[in-house]
Structure 1
């Protein structure tokens, strides 16, 4: 049972909790992505296409479920992870962070949507990779040393951010050009695909596959099991190669990244963490949802306001909003990584829900 007082934590979650999270959350998501991959492969073989309206469903769902809400508790994170930080101070610091960094991101998109999108891809690459690194620490496996941690972040961020441009460049670049046109005020409907030179695609593909191999070697050398890492890498490679980019990124964002981060947030709440250790998944999530809905509602209002400002609502508008929220959110998560020592070797990590930063200081 997780205690309610700040005490030193083990390097990873207790074995029973690790087994529950793996068997009831992580593996089902991986299997879901594998099933979608097979389905899309069959559609491709038959000469068909996945309708765009169907591809957009995960993004539509993510507005209220998992996706947009997964960062809605950022304002409580400092109070939960650092002793002596009151809720008022925690909220104030994070709100200022969001106003300053989010506004700077929005300004960049206004001045140069292309530059804004490029920065968005780079930040998302890092942020989605660091999310998977935390799961490695939570489960007590993965690459053990700092170099291995860098490989984890590089690989797991590259799969969703690079492979679509390698395998399906027309569809992937159409999202970029459509988003730029949308923010420029013309809507995204008239934007057509832009080709990616074949040599660039080949080099990028080889680099990503080499990173996957190096990552698995690092896991193996660290003494960790490679079964989960290898199976997830295999599914993700096939997923982002065969599934249309809009559907692939939408599903990954909603089911893979957001769900994993919500688990991380639940583990910072002693009550929710205790429920998880009892094998209960619904109660902690409902608790998270109750806490997250006010900020989620504000984010939805911002989405509506942005759509009114540019006089249309489409995927590009939603991506621009996510970009403005992702930058400060990544700052918060990076601070969480520092406090929880996510980048340290697994034996030095401190990821328990009740761990405070000062309890683990050398």
Structure 2
């Protein structure tokens, strides 16, 4: 068992304090889950009224995510090795991560340029894994959910599948339109994206349902409370089945995934972690934003450059940039999982000062 302290990780026999678990659950997770349920209810009402949510409204979460939560949530990757690996200098940390982004990000962009459909497919698979990682870490600091490596893999599989697969099951035309609109920006033929047939939708639906049942069964066997896991699974299924995919993914990316990862990063900073342990949420977030703005500004500049190159400034352009950044970011988070033993036990204890 370990606990993060300034400058590295040292042995300690302490888990995440119950107070922090309560604050995270009640003041971060529950409000977002409730908001998603409210949006799903409103979307259902709009649909029953025979109307549609205007696309400019659907794009608002993605627009906000450029500067708040979304794009900034990976802007401190260059500091992660220095924070989690004792003896790693900031200079070396920055050099390693920048090299990683240049190599892996460039390879991702090359794949999109050569075969846009394959590039988008890889993006879905990587995001499936990465978004599942985010929920797994939250389970660990709350000391609930599944246990062991097998349970971790199940959590990652089901929680990543809900945002990535449910829209294609429940709203295939709208979900496929997002893929088609994006890959055509990179030269793919409009007909290159196959429609999602009913038999395939049924098969994928059965897979998702089986994953959820296995996930909840594993949680129950672990003896931890089932309420949060079951309610989040149900809300996510309803949310992605009802809310238009662009709005749904934008809200999830911004308020669910990014907020959870920002919390994870705040816990790697001893000062912010101490504030979080006292229930202070605003001060650590403002500290994070101050640290994240330079890299966020660079990412925004890359977005502008990509838009000028493609002569387009739309959702597809933004998704292409996110894809190029997500691949190296997922590598960094996977390394964090390794250092923090996220997959090996039920409780991740590298969360704050000893």
Both structures adopt the same fold (TM-score exceeding 0.5) = yes
> Displacement of 1:351 after TM fit?
2.5
Contact kept, 8 Å, 2:129 with 2:160, in 1: the verdict is yes
Which residues of 2 match residues 106-185 of structure 1 at below 5 A? 106-184=109-187
Structure 2 contact 137–342 (Cα < 8 Å) conserved: yes
Residue 45 to residue 291, structure 1, CA distance change in 2 (3 Å): same
- Summarize deviations over 1:297-338 as a string: whole Å, max 9, x none: 000000000000011110000000000000000000000000
Question: Are residues 212 and 11 of structure 1, via their aligned partners in 2, closer, same or farther at CA, if it must alter by over 3 Å?
Answer: farther
The answer (yes or no) to whether the contact 1:2–1:274 under 8 Å persists in 2 is no
**Cross-structure match for 2:52:** 49
Give every structure 1 segment of 4 or more consecutive aligned residues whose post-TM-superposition deviation is greater than 6 Å: 190-193
Partners of 1:126 and 1:10 lie apart in 2 by 30
**SS of equivalent residue, structure 1 residue 65:** coil
**What CA distance in whole angstroms lies between the structure 2 residues aligned with 1:270 and 1:163?**
38
Alignment partner for residue 105 of structure 2, among 91, 102, 106? 102
Partner of 1:301: 301
Cross-structure match for 1:288: 288
Structure 2: gaps (5+ residues)? none
Measured in 1, the distance between the counterparts of 2:191 and 2:111 equals 21
**CA deviation string 1:239-276 (max 9, x = no partner):** 00000000000000000000000000000000000111
Give the superposed CA RMSD: 1.9
Q: d(CA) in 2 for partners of 1:284 and 1:9? A: 24
Does residue 238 (structure 1) correspond to residue 206 (structure 2)? The answer is no
| Worse-matched range after superposition: 306-315 or 2-11 | 2-11
Q: CA deviation at 1:130?
A: 0.6
Residue of structure 2 in register with 1:359 after alignment: none
1:4 and 1:309 mapped to 2: Cα distance? Answer: 43
Residue equivalent to 1:353: 352
How big is the shift at 1:57?
Answer: 0.3
Written as runs of structure 1 = structure 2, the 5 A alignment for 1:329-340 is: 329-340=329-340
Number of aligned residue pairs: give it: 351
- Other-structure match for 2:21: 18
Aligned equivalents of 2:331 and 2:12: distance in 1?
24
Q: Distance in 1 between matches of 2:13 and 2:313?
A: 47
* 2:311 paired residue number: 311
Q: Is the 8 A contact 1:183 1:316 kept in 2?
A: no
Per-residue CA deviations over 1:78-115 (Å, capped at 9, x if unaligned) read 00000000000000000000000000000000001101
Report deviation, 1:350: 3.3
Aligned-partner SS, 1:195: coil
Q: Answer yes or no: is the 8 Å Cα contact 2:21–2:141 preserved in 1.
A: yes
Contact 2:61 2:254 in 1 (8 A): yes
TM-score normalized by the length of structure 1: 0.93
- Match of 2:144, SS? coil
Residue of structure 2 equivalent to 1:251: 251
Partner of 2:64: 61
Q: State the SS of the aligned residue for 1:7.
A: strand
Give 1:360's aligned residue. Answer: none
**For residues 243 and 257 of structure 1, what CA distance do their matches in structure 2 show?**
17
Q: In 2, distance between residues paired with 1:172 and 1:161?
A: 10
Equivalent-residue separation in structure 1 for 2:261 and 2:250 (angstroms): 16
* Conservation of the 8 A alpha-carbon contact between 1:171 and 1:244: yes
Q: TM-score, normalised by structure 2?
A: 0.96
- For structure 1, the residue ranges without an aligned partner over 5 or more in a row are 356-362
**Equivalent residue number for residue 276 of structure 1:** 276
Q: CA deviation at 1:237?
A: 0.4
State which of 18, 31, 34 in structure 1 corresponds to 2:34. Answer: 31
Report if aligned partners of 1:171, 1:193 keep a CA contact under 8 Å in 2. no
Q: Is the 8 A contact 2:274 2:353 kept in 1?
A: no
Distance 2:91 2:237 in 1: 43
- CA apart distance, 1:155: 0.3
Indicate conservation of the 8 Å contact 2:117/2:188, yes or no.
Answer: no
